[in-house]
């Protein structure tokens, strides 16, 4: 069997996410550093880590949630300026709501302050109005950022996410899963 970068990425991700269920003397920690997201054999972005997920995001409106997502992107080293990225997200929301439906929004932006493509996930117990296409309030956010020259990357990542978001079982896992489950789900989705 020939291992392509995509197969290798999926294999490493599988090993890492299932290693906590295996009783072994040595956990394969170096594999965590090697895991990347590939799209048709091309490295697209680093895999999500626990710091890319907030299951209790605060805020009661779009501005406060987007501000916290921008701060999370800065803390993870994905962007150089949280205010600039926040403005990018707000401008995109002003053009048209990123509320996808079924309680999920996909705020995204392309900006010069983005150092590398990234995805963040946030959730809160109390849904808020996001002017979603189906009129439902939103309690899950999948935030995407790409560099200014990353139009193709943005289209690939959004396309991959949208093919999954239409499935209720995927949405249910986002809304009900714990941090490890959501992390594994998003990494698997983005690497397939």
Catalytic pick among 21, 26, 83, 108: 108
Q: Tell me the C-alpha distance between 131 and 19, whole Å.
A: 40
Q: Tell me the C-alpha distance between 118 and 133, whole Å.
A: 24
In contact, 132 and 97? CB cutoff 8 Å: yes
Q: What is the DSSP letter of 131?
A: -
Q: Tokens 């048209």, residue?
A: 96
Active site residue 40: no
Catalytic residue IDs: 108
């Amino acid at each position: 069997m020939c291992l392509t970068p995509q197969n290798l990425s999926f294999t490493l991700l599988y090993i890492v996410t299932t290693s906590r269920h295996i009783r072994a003397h040595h956990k394969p920690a170096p594999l965590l550093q090697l895991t990347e997201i590939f799209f048709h054999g091309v490295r697209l972005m680093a895999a999500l880590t626990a710091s890319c997920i907030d299951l209790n995001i605060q805020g009661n409106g779009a501005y406060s949630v987007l501000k916290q997502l921008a701060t999370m992107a800065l803390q993870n080293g994905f962007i150089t300026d949280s205010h600039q990225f926040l403005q990018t997200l707000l401008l995109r929301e002003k053009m048209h709501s990123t509320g996808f439906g079924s309680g999920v929004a996909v705020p995204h932006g392309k900006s010069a302050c983005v150092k590398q493509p990234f995805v963040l996930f946030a959730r809160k117990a109390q849904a808020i109005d996001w002017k979603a296409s189906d009129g439902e309030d939103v309690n899950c956010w999948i935030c995407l950022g790409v560099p200014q020259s990353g139009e193709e990357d943005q289209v690939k990542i959004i396309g991959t996410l949208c093919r999954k978001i239409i499935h209720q079982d995927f949405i249910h896992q986002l809304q009900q899963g714990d941090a490890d489950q959501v992390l594994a789900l998003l990494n698997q989705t983005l690497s397939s």
